[in-house]
Amino acid sequence: MAHTNKVVRSINQPGETICVDIFARPDGTYGFEEFRRDPEDNRGWFSIGAHGGGSYRTADAALAAARARIAWLDAALPRD
C-alpha cells in the first residue's frame, strides 16, 4: 500500500540536516516523526526518532508531544 500520510508541518533544525514532520493520517489522527539526512548522501531523509506510531487528535497535540520528546525542537520554536 502506498504511503498515505500527509505532512502538515515540517520544522528543520538549523543546518537543515534534521527535521520533525507533523503529519495527518487518513483516519483523521495526527502523528510526528524525526528525520535526518546527510548532504553527501543522495538517499534523502530517514527516520531516526521512532515516534511515528503515536496518535494524537490534533496537529497541535502532536506538536506539543514532539516538543516534549525532542529537545532541539522545543528550543527551536517560540513559546506560545
Summarised one tens digit per residue, pLDDT across range 2-56 is 568 999 999 988 877 899 999 999 999 999 999 988 777 777 787 887 888 889 9
Judged on CB neighbours under 10 Å (0-12, 13-18, 19+), 41 is: exposed
Question: Is the residue at 10 inside a domain?
Answer: yes
pLDDT at 17: 84
Is 76 inside any structural domain?
Answer: no
Task: Write out the residue range of the structural domain in which residue 20 sits.
Answer: 6-70
Residue 77 inside a domain? The answer is no
57, 7 Cβ separation under 8 angstroms: no
46 within some domain:
yes
27 found inside a domain: yes
Do 5 and 31 form a contact (C-beta atoms < 8 A)?
yes
pTM score, two decimals?
0.84
For the residues of 53-68, what is the DSSP string, one character each?
A: T--BSSHHHHHHHHHH
Position 19 in a domain: yes
In a domain, 75, yes or no: no
pLDDT at 53: 86
Three cell numbers at 77? 520554536
Domain count, the chain: 1
